[in-house]
Amino acid sequence: MSIETILERIATAMERQAAALERPLVALTGAQQASVGTPAATAASPAPQPTRRGPGRPTKAEQQAAAAAAAAPEPEPTPAGEDLLGDSGGDDFLGTEEPAKPVTIEDVRAALVDYGKRVSSQEKARKLLKDHGGADTLKSLSPDKYAAVVAAARG
């Protein structure tokens, strides 16, 4: 047996393993669960294979899995300043906390554009810049006011 033949057999076996892992899991109904335990039932009826419903349409099992995932409650976020252990100490001896990213003029510009689109008025965006930043243009806005303008535009 040549090395090419051996490698071809290995590749074929790996493809079968990958295909078996990619098949979606099918939930069993109560009647199916009762029949799973009997040897005659398992030998007589192979596991049903889901079929595609057309180009791009998901199977019923995929639809049910997506519906179950959408209905699952989202985990509650950890409050700011408190880690998972409940310790609210500010010292991070491992140095894993990321420093706060400073707000740039590009962030201010993007926030004002989004605000202008939301309220359908660039005049209101300019008024927000004047009220919260004390400037008529972005170029005249001082860097220490960037965060206040962004917060006002997003809030």
Structure confidence at residue 42 as a pLDDT band (50, 70, 90): very low
**CB 111: neighbour CB atoms within 10 A?**
20
Q: Is the predicted pLDDT of residue 45 greater than 50, yes or no? A: yes
Q: Which residue ranges make up each domain of the chain? A: 105-154
List strand residue ranges (DSSP E) for 89-133, in order.
Answer: none
What is the H or E stretch that residue 109 is in?
helix 105-119
CA distance 124 to 108: 15
- Residue at 133: amino acid letter: G
pLDDT of residue 61: 77
Residues 101-151 pLDDT 10s: 888 999 999 999 999 999 988 888 999 999 998 989 988 999 899 999 999
pTM of the model: 0.38
pLDDT of residue 52: 55
CA distance 130 to 54: 55
Residues 72-98 pLDDT 10s: 666 666 555 555 555 555 555 555 666
Characterize 48-64 residue by residue with b for buried, 16 or more Cβ atoms within 10 angstroms of its Cβ, and e for exposed: eeeeeeeeeeeeeeeee
Contact 124, 116 (CB under 8 A): yes
Q: Which residue has the higher pLDDT, 68 or 105?
A: 105
